A and B are shown apart, each in its own frame.
Chain A
Amino acid sequence: MEKDAKMFWTGLSPDEAREALVNKDKSMRDKRMTLKEAVSEFVNAGDNVGIGGFVNVRQPIAIIHEIIRKGFKDLILSFHSAGMAPELLAGAMMVRPDHCSIKRIELAYWGHEGFGLSQAWRYLAERGMIEFEDWSNYNMSARFKAGAMGLPFIPTRGPLGGDICNTSRTKVIDCPFTGRPIGLLPASNPNVGLIHVQAADMYGNCIIRGTDATCAEIAMASAHTIVTCEQLVSHELLVTNPKDIMIPFPAVDAVVKVPFGAYPGACRRHYYFNSDHILEFLGLIAPICKGGSSDALKAWYDEFIFGVESFEDYIDKFQTKKLFADQAAESYNCERLA
């Protein structure tokens, strides 16, 4: 097949991704640091950022807060289905365009399922404020997988037949073995992966409960990965059953213990959705889309992100009773003895 002038890589090309990993210090060393340190070191202007989790489940919300606090410029967001993570970034762009900007999004779905549509997505897209490229969920998870496999592309059936083939970098070829059409998707190798997990050790080995989403693939595909965890445990405990380890330490560059790090989203075994808080936040964005004032949204960011030093301070703003209730709701979903 001929080279296509329309083909381009966002994040790292396969060769650059290989080179980045070859040159990386892969030693088994203590990678604990603060979120401020991690974000300052690994998230840069123009980066392609791979966002872990699935919709509002185990999204790296604490890392997103820190990125907003620091400010971000021209980020490219890559995810399959996401909710509050892009919503928070986009809301920050709406109230502080000088401080925060998204350049491009490669995605399958941006919304909140049972909590409703993303008004920020509508706001940015309908005003032509960002570039974007639609894929399907499988397309995006397969693109990360190709990146993790060290391959430049992966074949899938997912995009065939519809317009995703026409608006994305998909190439449809005749399969050299069957002769039937097959879709080829370019690998995604983000500059940095953002992942929240249930447990990690100080080297970056991670255990994930509930859905794996595509977190391992994102971590393995990215040049760097920041991990936040509910529990930071000893290496010996973490490797009790080595097959439990979903992300191996050489794929991780920063480990930060952040309880409630996916809140107000849910985290298997730890807490269920704080739907009130999600709906309250979405309710602040909706009026702006209809031409209303952004004062209330600005006030939200001033109170919950710009006005605090850390994610711990943000969590401190919730009533203990509410945090307990969200933990109890998850205990009901996932009953465990002691």
Chain B
Amino acid sequence: MTVSTDYTAQEIIVVAGAKVLENNKIVFVGTGLPMVATLLAIHTHAPGLIPVFEAGAVGPPLKHGLPTSVGDSKTFTGASYLKGLNSAFELTQRGFADFGFIGGAEVDMYGNLNSTMMGDYPEGYLKPKVRLPGSGGASDMAASCDRTILIVPHDKKKFNEKLSYMTSPGHLDGSPDARYKAGMQGKGPYRLITTKGIFDFEEKTKRMRLISIFPGETVESIQAATGFELLIADNVTQFAAPTAEEVRMIREEVDPLGIFVKRAAK
């Protein structure tokens, strides 16, 4: 297959995100790139993937294209079940969601995410340096989906030992059974996809571990862009560059308007 020569950082995230999704599973899809990756997965290897959106739609075929919102009309048409936010989160809390797929602005080594604020916390909570949109449904997905897939653009300023604010709990402090002891359900972060590679969370320590490297990166370059020490899997793989066909699908079929996957400046 022809390898793409002009894919963007967002496009490789979308391709990697799609590949992590498993056919015939229920995935609770957050807004943004998770929606794009979900649609690409449905168009490629996972036609039986069942997306759930927090505004209420369960299992829509998404035949009318990429939703602009998780409450978009495109998520309602053909859905197998459609009520409101309470029902979507209740079924997640009950255990119906195999995966939650969410993004964040800042992540720590245990896969805890921040999408609330940057700055001094708690003193600066009500007057933050940078105010982010807020949890939305991300913290609910983090607390109650069986496993979560995270997307965070890789940047030393965003991969920190200590988060400004923990919006969506991951493996907390990494201690044994930390999630269970906090009252949560689900196994927590399963994969993290960044602009540089794919990570899992090592079973014992729950620490972020590099498992696959995107083209052009090395273990060293990725570590250098991370504000804490990464674990490195024994058998780190090289992630194949997106194919020309995958990139064509993203640009022409999945997100032709560039709603979430921004076009590279010419």
Give A contacts to B, CB under 8 Å.
Answer: 54-57, 80-81, 107-111, 113-115, 117-118, 121-122, 125-128, 131-132, 134-139, 141-142, 145, 156-164, 166-167, 172, 175, 180-183, 210-217, 266, 268, 272-273, 275, 330, 332-334
Q: List 5 A-B contacts (CB under 8 A).
A: A121-B131, A126-B127, A137-B54, A138-B93, A163-B166
Interface centre among A125, A216, A272 (most CB of B within 10 A): A125
Q: Is the interface of A mostly helix, strand, loop or mixed?
A: mixed
Whether B133 pairs with A141 at a CB distance below 8 angstroms is no
Whether B130 pairs with A122 at a CB distance below 8 angstroms is yes
Would you call B68 an interface residue if the criterion is a C-beta within 8 Å of the partner chain's C-beta atoms?
A: yes
Q: B135 — nearest CB in chain A belongs to which residue?
A: A136
Given contacts A125-B131, A128-B127, A134-B134, contact A211 B86 (CB under 8 A): no
Whether A333 pairs with B74 at a CB distance below 8 angstroms is yes
- Which residues of chain A are within 8 angstroms of B126 by Cβ–Cβ distance? 125, 128, 131-132
Interface centre among B73, B112, B136, B140 (most CB of A within 10 A): B73
Of the residues A57, A109, A117, A175, contact of B72 by C-beta under 8 Å: A57
CA distance A68 to B86 in the complex (A): 30
For residue A184, give the distance in angstroms from its CB to the closest CB of chain B.
Answer: 11
Whether B71 pairs with A108 at a CB distance below 8 angstroms is no
- Which residues of chain A are within 8 angstroms of B212 by Cβ–Cβ distance? none
Given contacts A180-B183, A333-B74, contact A126 B56 (CB under 8 A): no
Give B contacts to A, CB under 8 Å.
Answer: 31-32, 54-57, 64, 68-74, 76-77, 82-87, 89, 93, 112, 116-117, 121-122, 125-140, 142-144, 165-169, 172, 179-185, 259-260
Given contacts A126-B131, A333-B74, A333-B77, contact A164 B139 (CB under 8 A): yes
Whether A211 pairs with B137 at a CB distance below 8 angstroms is no
Whether A333 pairs with B64 at a CB distance below 8 angstroms is yes
For residue A36, give the distance in angstroms from its CB to the closest CB of chain B.
Answer: 29
Given contacts A126-B128, A164-B167, A212-B84, contact A273 B68 (CB under 8 A): yes
Whether A166 pairs with B86 at a CB distance below 8 angstroms is no
CA distance A216 to B84 in the complex (A): 9
Whether B260 pairs with A114 at a CB distance below 8 angstroms is yes
Besides A109-B134, A121-B133, 6 new A-B residue pairs in contact (Cβ under 8 A), listed by A number: A55-B70, A55-B71, A57-B72, A138-B137, A166-B122, A266-B69
For residue A120, give the distance in angstroms from its CB to the closest CB of chain B.
Answer: 10
For residue A186, give the distance in angstroms from its CB to the closest CB of chain B.
Answer: 16
Given contacts A125-B127, A162-B139, A163-B166, contact A214 B133 (CB under 8 A): no
- Which residues of chain A are within 8 angstroms of B128 by Cβ–Cβ distance? 125-126
Whether A134 pairs with B185 at a CB distance below 8 angstroms is no
For residue A252, give the distance in angstroms from its CB to the closest CB of chain B.
Answer: 18
Whether B183 pairs with A108 at a CB distance below 8 angstroms is no
- Which residues of chain B are within 8 angstroms of A162 by Cβ–Cβ distance? 112, 139, 142-143, 166-169
Q: A159 — nearest CB in chain B belongs to which residue?
A: B139
Whether B127 pairs with A110 at a CB distance below 8 angstroms is no
- Which residues of chain B are within 8 angstroms of A266 by Cβ–Cβ distance? 69, 72-73
CA distance A332 to B127 in the complex (A): 44
CA distance A162 to B143 in the complex (A): 9
Which 6 pairs, one residue from A and one from B, show the smallest C-beta to C-beta distance? A161-B169, A212-B84, A181-B183, A128-B127, A138-B89, A109-B136
Whether A158 pairs with B86 at a CB distance below 8 angstroms is no
Given contacts A157-B183, A211-B55, A215-B84, contact A163 B73 (CB under 8 A): no
For residue A109, give the distance in angstroms from its CB to the closest CB of chain B.
Answer: 4
Of the residues B77, B135, B260, contact of A108 by C-beta under 8 Å: B135
For residue B263, give the distance in angstroms from its CB to the closest CB of chain A.
Answer: 14
CA distance A131 to B260 in the complex (A): 31
CA distance A214 to B131 in the complex (A): 25
Whether A157 pairs with B93 at a CB distance below 8 angstroms is yes
Given contacts A121-B131, A138-B89, A161-B172, contact A268 B140 (CB under 8 A): no
CA distance A181 to B86 in the complex (A): 21
Whether B84 pairs with A109 at a CB distance below 8 angstroms is no
Whether A108 pairs with B125 at a CB distance below 8 angstroms is no
Given contacts A81-B136, A122-B131, A142-B86, contact A161 B69 (CB under 8 A): no
For residue A140, give the distance in angstroms from its CB to the closest CB of chain B.
Answer: 8
CA distance A123 to B91 in the complex (A): 36
Of the residues A158, A161, A212, A334, contact of B56 by C-beta under 8 Å: A212
Given contacts A54-B71, A125-B128, contact A137 B133 (CB under 8 A): no
Whether B73 pairs with A333 at a CB distance below 8 angstroms is yes
Of the residues A57, A125, A127, contact of B71 by C-beta under 8 Å: A57
- Which residues of chain A are within 8 angstroms of B169 by Cβ–Cβ distance? 160-162
For residue A335, give the distance in angstroms from its CB to the closest CB of chain B.
Answer: 8
- Which residues of chain A are within 8 angstroms of B183 by Cβ–Cβ distance? 157, 160-161, 172, 175, 180-183
For residue A189, give the distance in angstroms from its CB to the closest CB of chain B.
Answer: 16
Whether B134 pairs with A332 at a CB distance below 8 angstroms is no
Q: A174 — nearest CB in chain B belongs to which residue?
A: B183
CA distance A122 to B181 in the complex (A): 35
Whether A214 pairs with B84 at a CB distance below 8 angstroms is yes
